[in-house]
Structure 1
Amino acid sequence: MIGQASSAQRIWQLAVALLLTSVLAVVPALAEEPKNDKAMSSRKSGGSGGKDDKSSEQKDVDTEHLFGFTEGSDAGEKGEQEMVIDTISRLSKRRDGPGPSTYRVLDTRLAYQFNPADRFSVELSAFGNLRRQRNIADLDDKVFGTFDGVSVELKYQFLKGSAEQPLGLAIELRPRFTRVLPVEGNGANVFDMESLLQLDVQIVPGKVWYGSNISFEPAAGRQRGAAGQGYRSSTFLWSNAVVGQVAEGTFIGPEVRYLRGYDGIFLNRLESEAVFIGPALHRRFTEKVWLTVAYSAQVWGRDTDSAYAQRGLGLNQFERHNLRVKFGMEF
């Protein structure tokens, strides 16, 4: 236990050092505003200048999709609408015996978001699951693609970040019905409810942002079939990201996520834990069209199952690699 604790401590020290190093590397290059920025801002606003120009410029940065797997606090204003295609690829697990193995799962979400009030958004989503798993420990071989349920996401932003008040804070509830177990791929009828606290801070106004999420997601249901075995699980997530503007509309930075997977809906029995690190890229092509791409690799983890306790990484509940591609259009 002491060895495991010291290993976890070293990982957190590495993660914090990576974030601080990224901030220190990005800030000097971005902190000084180019000389022609103020002139450009004045031209856009008819030459009025002053604080109003800075405020209007910062409205173009929507932090909601800025950080990759981590999500920002912005929730939009009344009357805004958005369509999103969001695909998360989960790749590679522990092989079961000799021979080649494959674990590829693509979870795709098609979403429509609207704002019935300022700083309050409602998002309706439909999910698809495309899966190929072969020769994976404790999992049956499967190849299929199917509809994987629906969800509603309710988000309210308590604080909106600005140059004068850099902190943004929101809470989001995500009730969802799913038809496929996320790890095993078995058919099921499962209801889960993710509660998500979203925070972001403008480290350098208009240039560098820090984002953080804390999430708790219990799930309960029953597998389909003659046996009808029950299903209970819960997940805890803490994610952190720092991104800096490297060009007009382009943001890049590192992201660190810590996940714990449990058997039972109230974090009852730990099964796996893992730390993921990787880069995130956000590109806004126009005022209304944007793309976010993020990759993360598991750099540390463990399983509590005695058969895998001495193995590296937490692969019972998580994968070696995650890739997220999110495309959106506002109207």
Structure 2
Amino acid sequence: MLMDLFESGKWRFSRAAAAVTIAAGHLAGCVSAFAGDKPGGPAYAPSRTVLSPGISKPPLGLPADHADIDTEHIFGFSMGSDIGKPGEIEVEFENVGAFGKRSGSYAALANLNQVKYTVSDNFRIAPGFSLSGQRIRGVPGLADHQDVAFSGAALELRYKLVDRAVAPFGLTLHAQPGWSRIDDASGIPIAQYGAEFAALFDRELIKDRLFAAFNVWYGTGGTREIATDLWRHDSEMQLQAALSYAVRPELVFGLGVRYARAYDGGALNRFAGDAIFAGPTFSYTISKEIGISGTWQMQVAGSALGDNRSLNLDQFERHQALLRLNLHF
């Protein structure tokens, strides 16, 4: 039962840029060996983050060798710098699930539905609303809960600062303010106001074949629990790296690594715990109008403040998964 797509605006991030860099280097060697070619030359993100798998024709005046594959959604949780063509409208259904705590039964779902409109070559806007669902039984610190409900709304803004079609790499800036009425992890009623910010880098390493992404994400927010009327503030930071190899222009496989670090306090000021996730990614363009993409990642390392046990299952889960559907108009 897909009931735990993890806290939509709260993917927790980063412990050491070094850890992600080492893991990304190892992934590069594996993918290069699979490709049988020499590379030339992660993202919350996200994105969240984050988004259209598929084939696109090069815009007029731009070199064709950079424009065959839209990189936004080919990296799983990480995101490429592409934002679509001016005037393009895209509907996206993004589902993120989180599964497994140290004991008990835990599954959570976070669903974000957006309509994206590319205003110009450099700017895109995407309003959306979210649903969340949980199935929790016997998890210490969480009340037993099973429900699906409307959980909030968000507005995504993206600005392409560097276009990979005319530069050695692409860079897009991401901002997404939002409001939530349900806690994605526990299902309890809340009033939450926050935002996430990201820098999304990508680069084509082997022409039309091998692509790399690196994302830096930061999220912050204030939350009031309805039952207690108490406020809390938290924040998170995430480094993401991913490599994707195009078996065919419409079919892309890859590997992604995320380093997540969680904090009490809205300005990364009181460390609470961290975790590293890794797993395979895929993207498949079914037709010119329809694409799907996703990933399944497992926590491979982590620790919570004051807990010497392996993995961090306080702020994070054993598994996190993503499945995304994109419709182009």
Same fold (TM over 0.5): yes
CA distance in 1, matches of 2:249, 2:68: 11
Residues 13-43 of structure 1: per-residue CA shift (max 9 Å, x gap): 7624531222322342598xxxxxxxxxxxx
Q: What is aligned with 1:48? A: none
Q: What is aligned with 2:259? A: 258
CA distance in 1, matches of 2:78, 2:102: 26
2:150 to 127, 147, 150: 147
CA distance in 1, matches of 2:37, 2:248: 11
Q: How does 1:1-331 map to 2 (within 5 A)?
A: 15-28=23-36, 55-56=63-64, 58-95=66-103, 101-162=104-165, 165-225=167-227, 227-304=228-305, 306=306, 309-331=307-329
Contact 2:24 2:241 in 1 (8 A): no
- Following superposition, the deviation at residue 160 of structure 1 comes to 1.4
- Following superposition, the deviation at residue 201 of structure 1 comes to 0.5
Opposite residue 252 of structure 2, the aligned amino acid is F
Contact 1:183 1:317 in 2 (8 A): no
CA distance in 2, matches of 1:184, 1:72: 31
What secondary structure sits across from 2:143 in the alignment? coil
Contact 1:161 1:201 in 2 (8 A): yes
Opposite residue 115 of structure 1, the aligned amino acid is T
Pick the structure with greater CA Rg.
Answer: 1
The farther-off stretch of 13-22 and 144-153 is 13-22
Would the alpha carbon gap of residues 14 and 60 (structure 1) be closer, same or farther in structure 2, given more than 3 Å must change? closer
CA distance in 2, matches of 1:13, 1:169: 18
Structure 2's unaligned 5+ residue stretches are 1-14, 40-56
Contact 1:30 1:244 in 2 (8 A): no
Opposite residue 207 of structure 1, the aligned amino acid is R
Over aligned residue pairs, what C-alpha RMSD do you find? Answer: 2.3
Contact 1:175 1:192 in 2 (8 A): yes
Opposite residue 140 of structure 1, the aligned amino acid is A
Bigger RCO of structures 1 and 2 (CA < 8 A, at least 6 apart)? 2
Contact 1:30 1:207 in 2 (8 A): no
The farther-off stretch of 14-23 and 73-82 is 14-23
Residues 62-86 of structure 1: per-residue CA shift (max 9 Å, x gap): 1111110001111122211100111
- Following superposition, the deviation at residue 53 of structure 1 comes to 11
- Following superposition, the deviation at residue 153 of structure 1 comes to 0.3
TM-score (norm 1): 0.84
- Say how many residue pairs are matched: 296
- Following superposition, the deviation at residue 268 of structure 1 comes to 1.7
Opposite residue 146 of structure 2, the aligned amino acid is V
Residues 176-201 of structure 1: per-residue CA shift (max 9 Å, x gap): 10112233322101011101100000
Name the structure with the higher helix share: 1
What secondary structure sits across from 1:67 in the alignment? coil
Contact 2:83 2:158 in 1 (8 A): yes
The farther-off stretch of 147-156 and 280-289 is 280-289
TM-score (norm 2): 0.84
Opposite residue 74 of structure 1, the aligned amino acid is D
Structure 1's unaligned 5+ residue stretches are 1-6, 32-44, 46-51, 96-100
Would the alpha carbon gap of residues 317 and 159 (structure 1) be closer, same or farther in structure 2, given more than 3 Å must change? same
Opposite residue 202 of structure 2, the aligned amino acid is D
CA distance in 1, matches of 2:65, 2:272: 46
CA distance in 1, matches of 2:16, 2:241: 17
CA distance in 2, matches of 1:195, 1:9: 18
